[in-house]
Structure 1
């Protein structure tokens, strides 16, 4: 059965997955790259110079068994990207997804076929509608929720997420977009495990209870 999964979503100690304000020059606002430094040091990210170990083992699960991705408009581009007909995402001509990728936005446009197997499609849809479309495109494989925090929060609140991997990074941001707002009592629905890493981050996994 196809699962809906979240992987490698980094959050601060106070629960923010991004800072503010987001712009083309600062995709994560005042957070900069601080939330993702743990991943940049892994072999998953840097095959030649990265390290193995706990962080790498968690990070590489991101790409296993994925047939489609769903992401929010703010992951695809900075505020106002929909006004630029030439904007094709942050990732250049060969994005790292290599699957059908669905961007949730009120500003739809025709699909964009990129190099490496990624095709961006733009949906104005509810979480349930978007997931149904992505599962059909995934051809039996799992669907990854790529973020940002608002998309993950909305899908969890709708009861649509089967597995979630968050990485708590020891920084305080104070402002931005939080994952946890409105998600009280997740422990009633998910089995939760925490694994501490020598890098200082904590890997939190949420697996839906039977």
Structure 2
């Protein structure tokens, strides 16, 4: 069920209250971004998909029933937008295990109405995973900065933030593809070790998978 806070927020959004839209964005953008990031290896598309989710919600407002859980509805829209993006990229793939179960729960949530506690636990877990990855990346970047290895910092940014491929990064930085591949391997190994130490599975982060 939608919380009273969300219900009041939607009432204001329907009146085109810009402060309400800003609050909606603040309340849900982080969770939606974490959800989309887990499913799109091309992270340069994440913000676009999240923005399309909010646009899709705006377009559905006329038919939105506030008896539905707001977060469930937003995640359902996001799931469809992710599927659309994967189709555009020609990378729609069969999912198995936990990811497949999670995807199915989101897509069928409107029928089954997942309980709020389950949604909260999922959001908390995603936030924990994102925080752990952020700490690992920050530690790695600090070490490279301390050594004055700025080219490596830039390479990691292009690889993991921009989503560039090895060949593209190598050409941009005028380095060999082998140099970039070695850096990527070392970074993945360090991030993998950090997440394992934090009792998290690196498998939840597509950017650590080949």
Bigger Cα Rg: 2
Normalising by the residue count of structure 1, what TM-score does the alignment of the two structures yield? Answer: 0.23
Normalising by the residue count of structure 2, what TM-score does the alignment of the two structures yield? Answer: 0.23
Would you tell me which structure has more strand in proportion to its own residues? 1
